[in-house]
Amino acid sequence: MLALADEIEAVLTEEIKAENGDLENIDKKEAQTRFWIEKGLVLHWYTEDTKAYETFQKAQSISGFRFKVTGAMGKRTKFQQYDTSQLVVVAESSRDMASSRPSAYKSKAGSGPKNVEHNDDTILERIQFSDISEEERAKLGDLDLDPSKKIEDLHPIDHALLLAFCLNIKNTNPAHGLTVEQMFPFVTRVLETPNNWTVYTMALLLRSRLESDKSRTVERGVLQLQALVDQTKIEDETSTTRERMHHFFSVLLPSKWELEKELAEQYMALGVIRSAMDIFERMELWEDVIACHQFLDQPEKAKALCRELLEKNPTHAKLICIIGDLDEDPEKYKEAWEVSGHRFARAQRSLGAYYYKRNEYALAKDAYQLALKINPLFENSWFVLGCIGMQLEDFDIAIDAFTRVVSIDSNNSEAWNNMAAIYMRRNDNLDAQHALRQALKEKRDSWKIWSNYMYCSLDVGDFTEAIRAMGTVVELRWKKKDEEKDDIVDIVILDRIVQGLTRDLKDLYSRRVAFQEEKIEELLLGITNRITNDARIWRICGKYYFWKKDYLECLECQLKAYRSVTHNPKIETEQADFEKAVEATIEMVDWYRNLGPLCYKDKQGQEQVVAKDWAYRSKQMIKSLMARTRDSWEDVEAFQKLKDTMEDLKSEK
């Protein structure tokens, strides 16, 4: 087809050069512009998006059409108090194209396809742009970019060009809300000055599609599509056959049957199943009718229709599979596989899903492998095969399957996470860390992935990432109301991070962990600001400040650890808790004995003793605990340890 387009281009070029050719009564510029638009649409059909864009640019150059996508201040809702920046397309046709616009192809005023209004209590029908001053308008350049003034009419072929550039945005960007916002201004500009039935209908159809994913506009989108279906008929007072056909090949307007099918699919998405089923029945799309019966929980009607259709075509593999779905009969899937000559991948996928649900993983693996040999682009099938490989501990198959998943969709965080789990099972933590880093690009709010990333990073010696991951895990888990707040910190990992600093270890890149001193202190402060009653965390903080030779802060942390243990009311009733309190008290006495006599410099540079009265404080701690627990535990060995420690302190000043 592209070769034929090249031949047409050569013929068209010769005709335009000729003085008395067949194009003498037709505007030559418009003919060339239409040709390049149609060739660009063909290239888009074959996914040659870059070449198609270049072709549209040629059409724009010949037409002399100018447009610009820019921003303007305006309001989108009725209750907006302040103007915000809005995307807008400003455009103008060349003078000779505007003057040569054939009036015979223009719809009569007030006619044409019906434009369904929003009638929404919040969203404005059109963006309300604010006026700009004369000084601002003077700075805008050759195109007058003031969207608040009256919009000038464009040549219909320039409308078609705008829709072509809009199509290019759709085909060269991922399907998400930002792409929709980029496309809307093009469609809006075409709808502002309708002058051809076909082009205007295409613009309304595009708007309907763009509005189908937004809760505020989905109703208008479906009603608009219904209006287009109702008005697409042979005898129509709103337009003539000549007008419809003049720009028919310059836009991708589908047939009425395709529009009806699209409308039925929109009904299905909204849950209006019966209306969708009426359309499918009228169009004899029996497989979709069966799907509607399944949605309406009418399995018997679905089975009856399947069997009726199978009587006419007993080798219809898909219908046999649908019967298998309805009856949950694996033999039907095998029958469909046989009648298709081992070419119908859906049969093996369904069979694999049947076995997988029943934990028959070996049989499921064989079925999915057969299906994927025929159609290897089914991302979900590769994912399930990877899960099967993990269940069977066949990690080679699992890694290959998940690798296929991320090659199809690099943003599949679950696949990256599962790959990391396999690498961790193989003790290949470096590859596991890389996989988890990819998973976090899409799921940055998953504390479980961050937790796995923390383990892997520490195992490979990447202390920088381990510190960052632990801080993120604490922050994410703290926000969850249903989490146990005492368990959000992995004490073992936190201790290993601090040990890496205190033992002067080197990280993955042969750097001393000491260069992360500030980050570790920030991590400890972030944890202790949230969790104040865990003695283990305070002891780890004490280790850090002891390494830093900040003995005053170290002693304070150890004191908080002691209080976290001894403030437990169970120490008077539970012996195990009492013994822990005794150990914490004796340990605190040792810290006082070792650090209390040491000196430090205060903020003024004066030397001060860390704790002059450390012996008095130690005695008071022991006396307090003994008085509190004498009646309950005076006869146990731990209480005797307190007495012995007190005797040792009597010799201290």
Using pLDDT thresholds of 50, 70 and 90, give the confidence band for residue 414.
very high
CA distance 151 to 193: 8
User: Comparing 25-34, 104-113, 505-514, 583-592, which segment has the lowest mean pLDDT?
Assistant: 104-113
Could you tell me the CA-to-CA distances from 144 to 97, 163, 336 in Å, in that order? 19, 21, 64
Burial label for 400, CB within 10 Å (0-12, 13-18, 19+), is middle
* pTM of the predicted model as reported, rounded to 2 decimal places: 0.73
Instruction: Give me the DSSP letters along 7-23.
Output: HHHHHHHHHHH-TTSTT
CA distance 9 to 11: 6
Kindly give the interhelix angle for 156-171 and 49-63, rounded to the nearest 10 degrees: 160
pLDDT in tens, 461-470: 999 999 999 9
Using pLDDT thresholds of 50, 70 and 90, give the confidence band for residue 109.
very low
Domains of the chain, start order: 64-252 (no CATH), 410-526 (1.25.40.10), 532-653 (1.25.40)
Burial code of 524-541, b = ≥16 C-beta within 10 A, e = fewer?
beebbeebeebbebbbbb
For the record, the structure tokens of 566 come out as: 């001894």
pLDDT in tens, 31-67: 888 888 999 999 988 888 899 999 999 999 988 888 8
pLDDT in tens, 85-94: 888 888 888 8
Query: In this predicted structure, what is the pLDDT of residue 608?
Result: 85
For residue 113, is pLDDT > 90?
no
> 422 — phi, psi (to 5°)?
-70, -45
pLDDT in tens, 498-553: 999 999 898 888 889 888 899 999 999 999 999 888 999 999 999 999 999 999 99
Query: In this predicted structure, what is the pLDDT of residue 21?
Result: 53
pLDDT in tens, 273-317: 999 999 999 999 998 999 999 999 999 999 999 999 999 998 999
Q: What is the mean pLDDT of residues 3-13?
A: 68
Q: What is the mean pLDDT of residues 306-331?
A: 91
Instruction: Give me the DSSP letters along 483-541.
Output: S-GGGSS-HHHHHHHHHHHHTT-B-TTS-BGGGGHHHHHHHHHHHHHH--S-HHHHHHH
